[in-house]
Structure 1
Amino acid sequence: MPPSELMPIGAFARRCGLTSSALRFYADSGLLPPAVVDPVSGYRYYDAEQLARATALRRLREIAMPLAGVEAVLAAPAEEASRLVDAHVAKIVGDASAALRKATAVVSSLGGGPGLAIGALKGPVLADAVEQVLTATAHEPGLPVLGGLRLEADPGSLTLTATDRYRLSTRTLVPSTPPGRTWAGTLSGDDLRAAAPDIRRGALVRLEAAPHGVWFRTGGREDRYARLLSEEFPDHRAALASPGAVTTRATFAREPFLRALEEQPGERVALHVADRTVEVRPADDGRPGTALPATTTGTPLLIHFELTTLHPAVSTAIGPDLMLDLRGPDQPVTIRSADRGDLTTLAMPVRHSHPKRPRTR
């Protein structure tokens, strides 16, 4: 191949994102030998067809895959390569989780004596509540608190709250052993997700507040820990205390409503609440939707939502029936379980701009 059709090592390095020294290392290890080595100068040249392999190699090394693993992935068919990558990532996640548990135990032991008891709950009940409320979290750069869960304890209850600013979910639980004093903190949502399976298997889980987090003592099983987030949690009390007067209310079966949402083709969905009916229809055209029987009161209303806001709020509701408290097309909607009121979710609608229609002469 003429040298004019090849790239010198510097140009190839810029194209694939590897340094020249890394390319020399991978060439010497046999993972990515150059297409041509000038026998006189020793200069290395690469073919454009090697870019895909070089890019894949770089990405595999970025996820800390050892050289033997990289070689196996690059040599394997697509399906086997995907399995090898998944297995490597699973090992990293498992090792990181184990390291986190050990590190949090060390940090907690440095704090001295036992933590503050803030209540005890049946493990399955607590795990369900945590997983339900965590659906309202979001991973947003610069705002880690939106990925956290607010835990508030008072002498009679434990309240869990999360919000991504477009949705707010809260659930209040009555502990088997009430706390002796009030306590509040925002816990890492990632830590709680990892801890939920072990919490679920605890017959009675005791919560203890430590200086930098909360311990979930499962009794006979490995205790789990969730770190405290230092950022201030969004002011959610005002939204819960005075969301506005309800103008329309609808009660209907949850599962058919979820199926209707899942059948919608677009990113947004419209709800038309009228006499004894809730219609779920596409937001951006006039096509008919799915009409569901409902018990309705108040004025008819057409309201629009992002599907990614409304669906998780509905899917985590408790029981077979759902109640919507609506306050207008631009006001927060309260989504409640009709038979149990301890899980409440507020979801923000979106403004709807009607698509422009072609002018007629």
Structure 2
Amino acid sequence: MPHSELMSIGVFARRSGLTPSALRFYADSGLLPPAEVDPASGYRYYSADQVARATALRRLREIAMPLGTVEAVLDADPGEAARLIDEHVAQVLGEAVAAQRNAALVKSALGGLPSVPVAALKGPVLADAVEQILTATAREPGMPVLGGLHIEADRESVTLTATDLYRLSSRTLVPTEPASTPWAATVDGDELRVAAAEIRRSPLVRVEATPHGIRLRLADREDQYCRLLPEEFPDHRLMLASLPEPTTRAIVSKPLLLHALEEHPEEHITLCATDRGVHVLTADAGHEHPEVLLPATVSGQPLRLSFRLTTLYPAVSTAIGPDVMLDLRGPDRPVTIRSADRGDLTTLAMPAKPAHHAA
């Protein structure tokens, strides 16, 4: 191949994202040999059709895949390559979970670590609440606090809250043993997810606050430890206090509403609350899709709101009980979603502009 159709190692490094030294290493190991080597100068040249292999190689190494597995993936057919990648990721995730657990155990066993009793709660109840509220978290690189669960404890209650800025979920639990003094902090959500399985198996969990985390003392099981997030949690109390009274209330069957959302073909969904019930239709008025009318008890003025499926569905699915209560305030105000007969789990969901207005 003429040199005019080849790239020098420096140019190829920029195209592939690999350093020249890495390219030399992968060439010597047989993973990515150059298309040509000048016999006189020893310069290495690469072709354009090698960029895809080099990029895949870089990405596989970025997920800590061993060289032997990388070679097998690069030389396999797509199905086998996908299987090998899945196996590697599962192993990495398993090792990460094991590392989290071991780190928690080591931190929990540290002698002399001061702690303050926060509250005692029933393990299965706390585990359920943690898993429900964590559905409202998000992984945002610039806002790690959105991946946390905010805990507030006083003598009467323990309140768990999480938000992704489009939803806010909160559940209030009655402690078996109340806190001696008020306490509040935001706990790492991923570490709580890992701890939830052990929490569920303990009839009683004593929550203790340490300078940088919480220790969960479990009955007849190893203690768990979760770190605190240093960032300030969004001021959800101010937002809740500023909410106007709802103008419309609808009580609708949770299974029927979830089924209508699952069958809906669009990313955007519009709900219309009228004296006939709750209408589910596409947000795009030009889309030909039959309207679904759900039986509902509706009070107040008729109202029409649009939502993203990714916002509304989790808010409804985590509600407790067979019926959900929707408190509506207008097309640009949060909707309160809770059980029709139990108020200890509450979710706020922000409406969205209809799809045909998005531009």
User: Quick check: TM above 0.5?
Assistant: yes
Amino acid in the other structure paired with 1:315: S
Instruction: Give the Cα–Cα distance (whole angstroms) in 2 for the partners of residues 238 and 10 of structure 1.
Output: 55
Checking the alignment, whether the CA contact within 8 Å between 1:244 and 1:327 is kept in structure 2 is yes
1:359 aligned residue: none
Note closer, same or farther for the CA distance 1:64–1:217 as it changes in structure 2 (3 Å cut): same
State the Cα distance separating 1:354 from its structure 2 match.
5.7
Query: Who is 2:55 aligned against?
Result: 55
1:165 aligns with 2:165: yes
Shift of 1:240: 3.0
Aligned equivalents of 2:311, 2:356: Cα separation in 1: 20
| Other-structure match for 1:344 | 346
Structure 2 counterpart of 1:306, from 298, 305, 308 = 308
Q: What amino acid sits opposite 2:40 in the alignment? A: V
Identity of aligned residues (%): 67
- Please state whether the residue corresponding to 1:135 is helix, strand or coil: helix
Q: What SS does the corresponding residue of 1:251 show, helix, strand or coil?
A: strand
Corresponding letter in the other structure for 2:342:
R
TM-score by length of 1: 0.92
Offset at 1:227? Answer: 1.0
Structure 1 equivalent of residue 99 of structure 2: 99
Give a deviation string over 1:43-86, Cα, whole Å, max 9, x none: 22222222221111111111111212212222222222222222
SS of residue paired to 2:234: coil
AA aligned opposite 1:193: R
Letter in 1 for 2:249: R
Q: CA RMSD in A?
A: 2.1
Match of 2:296 among 294, 297, 302: 294
Unaligned runs of 5+ in 2: none
Matched residue of 1:89: which SS? helix
Question: SS in structure 2 opposite 1:222?
Answer: coil
Q: Any stretches of 5+ residues in structure 1 without a counterpart?
A: 357-361
Partner of 2:252: 252
Distance 1:113 1:36, change over 3 A: closer
Give CA deviations for 1:159-207 in whole Å, capped at 9, x if unaligned.
1011122211110111222222221111111111222222222222221
Counterpart position of 1:326: 328
Q: Take 1:93 and 1:196, find their aligned partners in 2: how far apart are those partners?
A: 17
What letter matches 1:220 in structure 2? D
Deviates more, 1:86-95 or 1:181-190: 86-95
TM-score for both structures, normalised by structure 2:
0.92
Aligned to 2:87: 87
Alpha-carbon distance in structure 1 between the residues aligned to 2:310 and 2:224:
31
Letter in 1 for 2:223: D
Distance 1:222 1:80, change over 3 A: farther
Separation of aligned partners in 1, 2:234 and 2:39? 66
CA–CA separation in structure 2 for the residues paired with 1:55 and 1:104? 37
How big is each residue's C-alpha offset from its partner over 1:120-158, in whole Å with a ceiling of 9 and x where there is no partner? 222221111111111111222321112111101111211
Q: Does the 8 A contact of 2:105 with 2:223 survive in 1? A: no
State the AA in 2 paired with 1:248. T
